[in-house]
Every structure is written in structure tokens, then in C-alpha cells.
Amino acid sequence: MVASRFSGTFIRSLSTTGAARAQNNANVNQEMLRFRSVVTPAARKIPGRYGGRHTVTALAGDGIGPEMVEHVKSVFTLAHVPVDFEELNLNSSSIGAGENDLQEAITSIRRNGVALKGNVETKFDDPAFMSRNMELRRSLDLRANVLHCSTIPTIPSRHTGIDIIMIRENTEGEYSGQEHACVPGVVESLKIVTRERIEWISHFAFDYALRHNRKKITAVHKANIQKLGDGLFLKVVNDVAKLYPSIECDAMIVDNASMQLVSRPQQFDIMLMPNLYGNIISNIACGLVGGAGLVSGINIGNDYAVFETGTRNTGTSLVGKNLANPASFLRASADMCKYLGLSEQADMISDAVFRTLTEKLIHTPDIGGKHTTSDMIRSVQEFLIQDMERRSQ
């Protein structure tokens, strides 16, 4: 039974480790704690670990991905994070050799268990060109996509007090890639919904809620129109909810959920969503807390985890300009550290990014500032050095 996979053996309570750390670090406040990575450390032994060091796959992808991976490497070196990167090419220009690149990437991630990834642009004008990102997710069975959207002080945004975990089904639904045109000009698209995967993602969400002291899960659906597809989703979520009576569970239709999200986002705690609605609603939530440059995203399944930015943009227009916001990538790297059990380094990196944004007010243009990427990286490095000095005393 799926539930036993997550229960019991390792409940790590975020609050106790956070409290202990708070006593060490005089500058910790509530907001900074909330900014830290919310990833649950991996339950299983991760394959790519040898001699105390982890090897992770780095797929820089298109756009600003390659620059960002370099920044992460420099931060990791400074913070003495015991992670080595196996860097692979996977981007939209490798069309001819496309298949090989993808297979190499998948093999590497299977070997290492973990990857840090930039986005690979999908040329949607060619139906034969399957989305590389989607192929990756399906081959590695990365069933859940998790984002933590929370208000960050000093970042201009429409609302305050937002703290939502978005849990999105990552492998089926409207993204099944099954389409056909029986008659030219009339296209039929199949949305695949399976009990097995919805059960998995529901258990994932409820277990997450238990582990991280969350109170309520809102399931987003359109079962009034898609009575069978979303109907099955809703039914399975409700069946699983009965097994977790301490967690409140309600449902909201996707259009109403979108409207509520932009007018009163404080009402949401965890949102559990099928693939397409999750895509849209996650992006709305990211927009509400400050945009694509700030939120990181976690793709996770039973065996593998891939870390990336929350909104999966390539940032092509910002390539080489030193203006892209590195926060989302750095936060993704912090998520990865937490998953690997490197909790202290994860928190150090998160805290340095938080302080850079909220104390030094170093903001890149996407959040209304005038600073450059290197300004941010430099500041993160300075805060890291300070933090390490404090810890060594």
C-alpha cells in the first residue's frame, strides 16, 4: 500500500530543527524561516553518493540556465557543499542528436538519483518534436511538482501573507501527448486520468501536510464539466482524505480557485491539482509573490528528484546581460541540498539569498530593482562567509 512508503520511518519535523537552529543564529526571524527550503529529505539512500560526496546531474538547458549553473557551482564551492556536478547538454538546439542527449540525461539521472535543471525550450511548431522536459519527467516518473509560494518582504507584490504549497500532478492529464485529427481541421485530444497516479499524488500531499504541520488541502478541479476525468480525480482525493482525518480537505472549481487566488490568496494552505490546472495556478501564485525569478520547483517521484525554477522559463531575452534573477536557481540548489540531507548548507544558502533580497535590498530588474545578477551573487557569497564564520565560533 502506498501509504506505508511515506509513513513512520522517517518523520522529520521541520519545526524542531528550525527551533534548534534559531538558538544558534541570532538573526533568524519568522520570514527567513519561511523562505527556507521545504523539501523533505529523501527517504531512501541516494545512489550517487561516494566518499561523502554526492554527484548530481546538471542539465543547464536553454537561455540563462548555463549561467545559472555556473553561479550555483560558485556558491557551492564557497559553502563547501559536498556536491559534484555531472554537466550534460540537453537543449533545444540538439535536434538531430536529440534522442541521444535525452537518453544520456535520463541515464545520468538514474545513476545519480538527483538533478539540477534549467528549462529546455519546446519548439511547439513541430508536432514530431516531443517536449524534452515532459519526456524527462515521464521516463523518470517524477510524479509530483511542488512549489512553495510565499510572500517575501520588500518584494513588490499585490498581496501579503501568502504561504501556499502547490502540489501538482506532473506526468498525466492533459499532458499525455495523445492527440489525433480524424478529419483535417478537427482535432481530438485525450486527457488521461488514472486512479493509480491520483492516489499517489494524494498520498504525497497528505503525507506532506502531516510532516510539515500544514492544515488544509484544497483540491482544484473542473468536475462539473469533465465529469469523468476530473470526477475521478475528485473521488480519489476524497477517498484518500478519509485516511487522514486530521487534515482538512475541500475542493474548488478551477475558475473560482483562480479568482480567489488573485483576490484573497491568504485562504489557501496546500493546493492539490491535476497537471494543467496545476501549471496555470502555480504560475499565478508565482506571479503573486514576485515572479519567475524567485520561486523554485521540485519534481519528485519514488526514485528520483529533479530541481529547477518554479515557472520553467528559459529567460532567453536575458542571456548574457547579467540581469536575470538568480534567486530561483539558488533556491532550487538549496532544495536539492535539503533533499540530499545537507540541511545546514541548504539553510545557509536560503538565508543568504533572503538577506540579500530583504536586508541589502539587492533587487534585479524583474522585481523592480536596478542591480545585476553578479551584485546578487556577490552579496550571497558575502553573507555565506559571514554565516560560516559565525558557525565556526
Partner 1 sequence: MLMPNLYGNIIGNIACGITGGPGMSSGMNLGDRHAVFETGTRNTGTSLKGQDVANPTAFIRAGIDMLRYLGCDKHADLISDALWKTIAVDLFHTKDIQGEKKASEIVDQTLRNITAIQRQQ
Residues engaged in binding partner 1 (CB under 8 A): 158, 222, 254-256, 258-263, 276-277, 280, 284
CB burial readout 284-302, b (16+ within 10 A) else e: ebbbbbbbbbbbbbbbbbe
User: Which of 179, 255 has the CB closer to partner 1?
Assistant: 255
User: Which of 1, 181 has the CB closer to partner 1?
Assistant: 181
Shortest reach from residue 203's CB to partner 1, in Å: 27
Query: d(Cα 157, Cα 140) in Å, to the nearest integer?
Result: 35
Shortest reach from residue 255's CB to partner 1, in Å: 4
119 — phi, psi (to 5°)?
-90, 145
Shortest reach from residue 226's CB to partner 1, in Å: 9
Give the torsion sign (CA, 348, 354, 357, 360): negative
Query: Could you count the other beta carbons within 10 Å of the beta carbon of residue 336?
Result: 29
Query: d(Cα 116, Cα 297) in Å, to the nearest integer?
Result: 10
Shortest reach from residue 274's CB to partner 1, in Å: 12
Query: d(Cα 329, Cα 344) in Å, to the nearest integer?
Result: 18
- Strand-pairing partners, residue 306, are 115, 299
User: Which of 81, 281 has the CB closer to partner 1?
Assistant: 281
User: Which of 32, 261 has the CB closer to partner 1?
Assistant: 261
Shortest reach from residue 140's CB to partner 1, in Å: 28
Query: d(Cα 244, Cα 391) in Å, to the nearest integer?
Result: 40
Query: d(Cα 195, Cα 360) in Å, to the nearest integer?
Result: 49
Shortest reach from residue 268's CB to partner 1, in Å: 13
Give the torsion sign (CA, 358, 324, 156, 165): negative
Take residue 321 and report the three cell numbers written for it.
546581460
User: Which of 79, 193 has the CB closer to partner 1?
Assistant: 193
User: Which of 277, 304 has the CB closer to partner 1?
Assistant: 277
